[in-house]
Amino acid sequence: MLERLFQLKAHNTTVRTEVLAGVTTFLAMAYILFVNPSILGSTGMDKGAVFVATCLAAAIGSAVMGLIANYPIALAPGMGLNAFFTYTVVLHMGHTWQVALGAVFISAVCFFLLSIFKIREWIVNSIPLPLRSAIAAGIGLFLALIALQNAGIVVDNPATLVGLGDLKQPGAILAVLGFILIVALEARKVRGAVLIGILAVTVVSIGFGFSPFGGLVSMPPSLAPTFLQLDLAGALNIGLVSVIFAFLFVDLFDNSGTLIGVAKRAGLMGKDGHMPKMGRALIADSTAAMAGSLLGTSTTTSYIESAAGVSAGGRTGLTAIVVAVLFLLALFFAPLAGSVPAYATAPALLFVAVLMTSGLAEINWDDITEAAPVVVTALAMPLTYSIANGIAFGFIAWTAMKLASGRLRDLNPALIILSVLFVIKLGWFNA
């Protein structure tokens, strides 16, 4: 049956190899089980329900990817998008988490339609690669700021906006040590480095009495507090158009980059340089995002950590199915997830930030019309506390600077149209 479903021989792999690859991928991305409830819980959402929603969304997404596309790519609620959901849409803009879930669902439906009608390729090809790298880096810097806040290392200051916190506090000290541990383990190629870092800080914190221990295993908490609680009518408010666009846009490029990157490493790219069954993979992804919003979590997306499983030999959807099963088993570890303090997940956020900002190395810094919009995009996200604002400023800066420099050949209709729409959205025409 497994051979018929996943074509193991054709991909030169075995059941044992695929299972080991699935376990490797799960260990690399299991940190989301602790990070996601911590972040979304700040909106007032029930952390136990978010934990269950995270497990189920990851299981559904990974299973659908494995069965429909037969790719060794796992899915879970995406980093960056969960921070945007919480800190920008809910806490900064003042919308309810129910409305934010509605925006996630609408963006997922749009993503599904783009995948069905193959408009995705046109959009992706219209956006310059440096701008895509800038968006990823900006999200990384956004996560870094949140991580430092959660650790108490960066605090608000009425005179300078931000300032240095009390580094003698246990949370700050443990967060710093946790980050060093994660980097050291990753450098030594230890599997599950991020997960180990989170658990190590949690154990030390509980051991010294800095945070309470809620238990290890139990029956899964109720999903009722978040299940089908999305507010679609509220999300259709005109003021949320840019939010829906940001969810869609980031998911679109994050997915495309992840799918292509993992497929290249697995040797699954076609001879023409294109990824076979890309449409199926994107449909699986958008389906998972819709399911996640119904369950009660932010956008579910493909994980670059799937590359860890590919490096361990994963070549088919069986790897993703193994990840799905492990996420279902994780449902019984809700008490452990509830015992993880915010400063224990801060090192994980900071480490993901490091990975996301690495794309800046690919920028041509000698071309100032490329470098300037990239810096504007990357800095605008953490400094305005909004991924949507960063994308808007990036598009406007790229188009304006290319036009002013007489570089019209570097522009295309999609870029110009989007830039004009962003200018209107920001209200500059009404000033």
Which residue ranges of the chain lie beneath pLDDT 70?
Answer: 120-121, 124-125, 238-239, 257, 261, 265-266, 268-275, 427-431
Q: Mapping DSSP to helix (H, G, I), strand (E, B) and coil, where does residue 211 land?
A: coil
The pLDDT value recorded for residue 248 is: 84
**C-alpha to C-alpha distance for 424 and 297, rounded to whole angstroms:** 31
The pLDDT value recorded for residue 428 is: 57
CA–chain centroid gap for 135, Å, is 12
Q: Which of 352, 141, 139, 142 is nearest to 250 (CA)?
A: 139
The pLDDT value recorded for residue 430 is: 41
- The DSSP call for residue 12 is T
Residue 14, classified by CB atoms within 10 Å of its CB into exposed (0-12), middle (13-18) or buried (19+), is middle
The pLDDT value recorded for residue 180 is: 96
How many Cβ atoms sit within 10 Å of the Cβ of residue 360?
20
Residue 7 CB partners (closer than 8 Å, separation 6+): 70, 316
The pLDDT value recorded for residue 431 is: 36
Residue 273, classified by CB atoms within 10 Å of its CB into exposed (0-12), middle (13-18) or buried (19+), is exposed
How many Cβ atoms sit within 10 Å of the Cβ of residue 203?
13
Residue 161 zone, left/alpha/beta (φ > 0; ψ -120 to 50; rest)? left
- Express each pLDDT in 252-273 by its tens digit: 777 776 777 677 766 766 665 5
The pLDDT value recorded for residue 83 is: 86
Q: Report the predicted TM-score, pTM, of the whole model to 2 decimal places.
A: 0.79
**C-alpha to C-alpha distance for 348 and 178, rounded to whole angstroms:** 8
Q: Mapping DSSP to helix (H, G, I), strand (E, B) and coil, where does residue 132 land?
A: helix
CA triple 25-26-30, angle to 5 deg: 125
